[in-house]
Structure 1
């Protein structure tokens, strides 16, 4: 993971990051406003030993004794015995939690602090602690009740009434909340992105399918309601994407140009039927003699998309109840030929793998420039693999953010195991930056011009 990865991840999820920061700032503000201010009063005390003789050795011994007592006195300051001499009743436990004491390193000084919501009370309790603690030490450090204590404690600095509270600190709370929110949000996004194996880029699809990417079809809001590209006179980014797909198909295998193409996907709902229909329409608009075969004998979609009758079709031909030329329909201004699926049979796999299906495909490839077969998904059933084995090529459709890498790998391995030729893959429903058609100042190449170009090429090749 490099810096560019984080930048792209942040750009894709900037709204979520902004929302988390705003929520953190609001939470910090609420917590700060509802937290009562706390004030700290501090006293300093000196621990010293009595030098009875005034000699150097006794002074040294008194100093060593004082240093040994400092650590113990710091703990004794916060003991229940000491606190109970300052307050009485239930306040002893509360005050124990607010009194702290520490020894200053390399000295015989003890610093004690009292935290309270009332600054005056904090100072009063701290000073009372500084007055009562020397009395306690004088009492417990006497060898006998009538002798003099060996250690004495003196309050050096009295506590003043604090002016500024030590908490809450609005800026610190805000900064801490923002850092936590940013860390949690970015960490969650990175974790989700690493655990998410769905296809979201052309590079990921290319690596998973081990084939070339022939096109990227952008997402449009009206595509589900109006799946065909004939609306808006074909002037949309989605229509342009299918024209680009048509162009890329023309450059696949110059010496082995496929004449029959299976369009399938890994799972249902990835847009294979709409892709097959729009690709057939685009090729027909360019002057190709195209036939669209609805090879999904389980859940046919082509008749509904094109608005044609689909009760009679491929299944009737395969069981020899109708002739092929009698069930082929013509659709649209481009005279697109369509072979519906017909009635849903009880044995789709057997029909699609029969000799009759091979004969149908052979007849269609002799009559048309391109036979596009809309097949069922690859992974749930074997129908698409059966068709892919008898057709010249297979086009795999993957849906952005839904199809997973492992599913594409499995589908590719399945096609490879039956020696099916995979001509490429298409990333469908990709987020489009703009729904406007591509202008670039060059204008469109009209379908009439493309059709004329296609017909001229056919004529020249025929003369040749």
Structure 2
């Protein structure tokens, strides 16, 4: 992961990061507003040894004694015995928690601080501590009750009522909250991105499918209601994407150009039927003799898209109940030929793998420039693999943000195991902001509703 990765991630998810920062600012402001202010009062005391004789040696010994005592006194300052003298009937334990003491390094000075919600009370308690502690030391440092103390403590600096509170600190709280929010937001985005195996780029799709990317079809809001690219006279970003895909498909296998193309996906709701339909339209608009075969004998969608009759079709031909030329329908000014699926049979896999299906494909490849076959998804059932094994090429559709890398890998391995030729892959339903392209999407109709994604390679 490099800097560019983080920049792209932040740019893609900036609303979430902005929301996290706003939430952090609101939380910091709330906490700051509801936190009682605390004030700190400080006193400084000097620890000195008692020099009775006034000689140099005794002065040195007194100095050494005071240095030895100062660290112990720092601990003694917050002892219960000392705090009880200044508590005045208050909570001794609570007062202990609000008093800190430390010895100033390389000196014989003690510094004590008292924290309180009242500046006057903080100064009063600190000064009381500065009065009572020297008295206690004077008592405990006497060798005998009648002798003088060997060490004495003197209050050097008294405490004045503090002017400004030490907490809360609004700017510090705000900065800390924003840093934590930013860290958590970006961390969660990175984690989610690493755990997310869905296809979201051309590179990921190409790496998983080991096939060239023939194009990207973006999302368009009206695609569910108007799935075909003929609306607006073909002047839409989605229609332009299909024309680009048609051009790309032209350069696939110059020496072995596919004449029969299976359009399929890994799972339902990835846009394979709408892709097949719009691919056939785009090729027919370029003057190709094209026939669109609805070979999805389980959930046929082609008649619904084109508004044609579908009770009689491929199934009837395969069981020899109808003649092939009788069930082919012509649609549109470009005279696109369409073969509906017909009645849903109980044994679709056997029919699609039959000799009759091979004979139909042979007749079509001799008559038409391109045979587009809408096949069911690869992973749930074997129908698409059966067709891919006898056709010239397979076009694999992946839906942006839904199709997983492992599904693409599995589908590619399945096609490879039967020596099927994958001519390319198409990334479908890509959002316009992803810089993939503008376009359209509507899903595969394995439910009782129209597809939600569109994808199509182009050939012209």
TM-score normalised according to structure 2 size: 0.93
> Which position in structure 2 is the counterpart of 1:82?
82
> Which position in structure 2 is the counterpart of 1:450?
none
> Which position in structure 2 is the counterpart of 1:176?
176
Q: Higher relative CO (CA 8 A, sep ≥ 6), structure 1 or 2?
A: 2
Alpha-carbon offset, residue 278 of structure 1: 0.3
What is the CA–CA distance in structure 2 between the aligned matches of 1:145 and 1:381, rounded to whole Å?
101
> Which position in structure 2 is the counterpart of 1:382?
382
* Secondary structure, counterpart of 1:85 in structure 2: helix
Q: Within 5 A, what are the aligned runs for 1:150-229? A: 150-229=150-229
> Which position in structure 2 is the counterpart of 1:7?
7
What is the CA–CA distance in structure 1 between the aligned matches of 2:90 and 2:420, rounded to whole Å?
84
Q: Within 5 A, what are the aligned runs for 1:53-452? A: 53-433=53-433
Compared CA separation, residues 61 and 216, structure 1 to 2 (3 A): same
Deviations 1:287-342, CA, capped at 9 Å, x for gaps? 11111111111111111111111111111111111111111111112111111111
Where structure 2 has 5 or more consecutive residues not aligned to the other structure, the ranges are 440-459
What is the CA–CA distance in structure 1 between the aligned matches of 2:28 and 2:371, rounded to whole Å?
64
Alpha-carbon offset, residue 45 of structure 1: 0.6
Alpha-carbon offset, residue 198 of structure 1: 1.1
What is the CA–CA distance in structure 1 between the aligned matches of 2:90 and 2:151, rounded to whole Å?
32
What is the CA–CA distance in structure 1 between the aligned matches of 2:56 and 2:90, rounded to whole Å?
48
Alpha-carbon offset, residue 258 of structure 1: 0.5
* Secondary structure, counterpart of 1:86 in structure 2: helix
* Secondary structure, counterpart of 1:44 in structure 2: strand
Alpha-carbon offset, residue 18 of structure 1: 1.3
Deviations 1:394-425, CA, capped at 9 Å, x for gaps? 00000111111111111111111110000000
* Secondary structure, counterpart of 1:394 in structure 2: strand
Deviations 1:53-74, CA, capped at 9 Å, x for gaps? 2222222222122111111111
What is the CA–CA distance in structure 2 between the aligned matches of 1:371 and 1:101, rounded to whole Å?
89
What is the CA–CA distance in structure 2 between the aligned matches of 1:411 and 1:341, rounded to whole Å?
24
Where structure 1 has 5 or more consecutive residues not aligned to the other structure, the ranges are 438-453, 455-464
CA contact (8 A) 1:236 1:436 kept: no
Alpha-carbon offset, residue 90 of structure 1: 4.6
Consecutive aligned runs of 4 or more in structure 1 exceeding 3 Å deviation: 433-437
> Which position in structure 1 is the counterpart of 2:449?
none
What is the CA–CA distance in structure 1 between the aligned matches of 2:345 and 2:135, rounded to whole Å?
103
Alpha-carbon offset, residue 88 of structure 1: 3.9
Paired residue total: 438
